[in-house]
Amino acid sequence: MTNRRAELDRGDLIVRAAFARLDVVALAVAVGCVWALGLWAATAILLVKGAPPDMGVGNHLALLGHFLPGYTVSWPGSVLGLLYGFLIGVVIGTVVGAVWNLAHHIYLVLMVTRNYFAGDL
């Protein structure tokens, strides 16, 4: 009896895990922090390493300025990159979290509706 109960609990756990939702705010903040740190570190590494006298520092990374107005490979630019990185990460985290939750919700509604009309519910 106890084993049967444990088996049912395990099955229930798997189903609950399958339909678990992502915390969109937490994901947005977490991905935002990672992107912010990533862009800041990418800029800072180039600044610390420097470049030969006849070459500019981070000419290629500076091309991000096309998409992120004001961003440059400089210390003030790295701080701006921190903010831009956070914003980009927030958007990515929100999209992934929202699509994940919405898709699970739709899947669940379709499943319940199908079972309802099949007479299982």
Residue 8 C-beta: closest distance to other proteins, Å: 7
5 binds other proteins (CB under 8 A): no
Residue showing tokens 């990418």: 42
Residue 53 C-beta: closest distance to other proteins, Å: 18
- Binding segment (CB under 8 A) for other proteins, from list 73-81, 102-110, 113-121: 102-110
- Give yes or no for a contact between 78 and 45, defined as CB atoms under 8 angstroms apart: no
3-state helix/strand/coil string of 41-97 = HHHHHHHHHCCCCCCCCCCCHHHHHHCCCCCCCCHHHHHHHHHHHHHHHHHHHHHHH
- d(CA 28, CA 48) in angstroms, rounded, equals 30
- Binding residues among 55-94 for other proteins as defined by CB under 8 A: 60, 63, 66-67, 92
Interacting residues toward other proteins by CB under 8 A: 7-8, 10-11, 13-23, 25-27, 29-31, 33-34, 37-38, 42, 45-46, 49, 60, 63, 66-67, 92, 95-96, 99-100, 103-104, 107
